[in-house]
Copies of this chain bind each other. A is one copy, B any other.
């Protein structure tokens, strides 16, 4: 039936059938062994996904593998990376752990990869140690004021700057190698002892825990920008790669970091550089204190990483739409982890498998077929830089941008079990609210996920009053990046997260360590798996509504509200920027005004229509306007210096203002330099932005 709308009783069936025990079972299966991208463990999860999605009782219409030949970086198992303290007489005074300490069979698995910094160059460097705080440009600048950094090794803590940036920022000062560790202050609320405080006694990171990670700046396979990484695809020369560490870098545990930092000489670092150790964090002489046994010793960093092309798999599954098969709702998560990855990403993968299992059963039992097509994506090699999802969007750019209604990302489904967290385009806000109101909050019988969320995080909307706060997807933190920034697809990212009054941890403490295991998830993150269940119910409800609603549940007036809030900040910034009078802000004001009136007009047109009883091309026309709204904000020339960023509203920004990113960065730069050329660039950004918003308004305005 062409005019078929969402069936609310079917939504209730779906919610009822989502089973926490099933999720637990999926998680147990997925985390049996480490499954770093392209390893045998990863291949096992590929087969596992395929089996589930091809299951005759609860599978999808079709499931298959898509492979890409991508550039990955690994440590050499035969020559482990090493960090040592070496005396002038070459005696080794201290050796950092090569593996994390074992508390059970998971850590004993020989497939646990040594902690390393993916894409760090190989090399041996030795030098006096300095402490460089978070490795931000301002950190090295300050350090350089009193110390000659040439030939030094810098130790930095995670946070404040991107992983690769800690080395990229260091190199210009002559630093030859970098160490990075997680400070207990930043991850463990200060706790440090594995005798009783850290895992396996709690969710906190044990002293030997090390956050692995990809040390790159741009997302996607590095050798094949804008091209799917297939066998014969052109690859840029390895020497042309940008955004990776120019000098060796290696992550270590805070146990070893303490040994080094507590012995550092030199002046005491500023208060905001101090961490959780019971010692003063000094800059370093450079090097260690005269009184230390390490006096005059150097730190030696040996990195044996190598990079090579590997075949990485996405597993894809589809349910074909009955009425509009040419409209896609995509639901995805990565499948690869650093080690066992129970939380990252398998919590999300388990949730996705439960959503697809319940929908697959409804499908196979003949109870349901969606109005629009549903695509599930289990992306490969996300940990190395969102590679699987990025290559997928490059290969299928045309059909995805022509037909995709929305993308739902659930990576880490449960960081903690306090409250829902959602980020996405403003047009999705109301849909997420609707879905969250139909789901019971875990552990709170009479409260909905929505009401619980409202208590933890809210804001006042001019149109709706107090509502939960939905974040924006301005960065490239998970696989939504290519969908948002490259394709301009309306996207969201969902999870359950912390009570921020109870922890200051940067992220859940086992993140990217050998302790992110089923045991950890089941005992400390979500005992009973009810938060997983709530996320599955919420995300699945959103998915069903996107796939089945006659009118797409996307609200363009909520988009206008966000643009107006950005505009208000932009106007303040403009006023105080000292912009020359030749640069008028009027085109931006008028573009946002046009967008608002277009949104109002479309909403009234929808309200005044009886869509189920008018010609089916009318609702299709409106749905096309709503679907293409985010596409209208794309400008491939807006950010020539940011790879894969084309959406002018949600790009990343360094200026730190809640406003249009290109505008914010360009005005901040011009305002600070006062150079005519920088003002010209600011004016250019203003015109790009105004035209894009006007273009988006034209997408919403009456079609002719």
- The chain A residues found within 8 Å of chain B, CB to CB, are 2, 226-228, 230, 232-234, 237, 318, 320-321, 323-326, 328, 373, 375, 394-399, 402-403, 584, 586-587, 615-617, 620-621, 624-625, 628, 631-632, 635-637, 680, 683-684, 686-688, 690-691, 694-696, 698-699, 703-704
Contacts and interface: CB of A to CB of B under 8 A. Distances in A.
B394 A691 contact: yes
Contacts of A321: 704
The 9 closest A-B pairs by CB, nearest first: A398-B695, A326-B703, A234-B687, A636-B636, A398-B632, A234-B683, A234-B684, A232-B587, A373-B704
A624 B326 contact: yes
Given A232-B584, A399-B703, A617-B617, 14 more contacts: A227-B691, A230-B587, A233-B691, A234-B686, A324-B617, A324-B621, A325-B703, A326-B621, A373-B704, A375-B704, A395-B691, A395-B694, A398-B699, A399-B698
Contacts of A680: 234, 237
Contacts of A396: 695, 698
Contact of A320 (B2, B631, B686, B704): B704
Contacts of A237: 680
A556 to B, nearest CB: 14
Contacts of A616: 2, 615-617
B695 A397 contact: yes
A375 B324 CA distance: 28
A694 B397 CA distance: 10
A320 B702 CA distance: 11
Contacts of A690: 232
Contacts of A683: 234
A6 B403 CA distance: 27
A657 to B, nearest CB: 21
A543 to B, nearest CB: 16
16 contacts: A226-B635, A227-B688, A228-B691, A232-B687, A233-B687, A234-B687, A323-B617, A325-B621, A325-B703, A325-B704, A328-B704, A399-B699, A402-B628, A402-B631, A402-B699, A636-B636
A398 B627 CA distance: 13
In this complex, the member of A232, A584, A635, A686 whose beta carbon has the largest number of chain B beta carbons within 10 angstroms is A232
A483 to B, nearest CB: 17
A324 B324 CA distance: 17
A636 to B, nearest CB: 4
Contact of A617 (B397, B620, B631): B620
Nearest to A686: B234
B326 A226 contact: no
Contacts of A617: 2, 323-324, 616-617, 620
A395 B395 CA distance: 29
A688 to B, nearest CB: 7
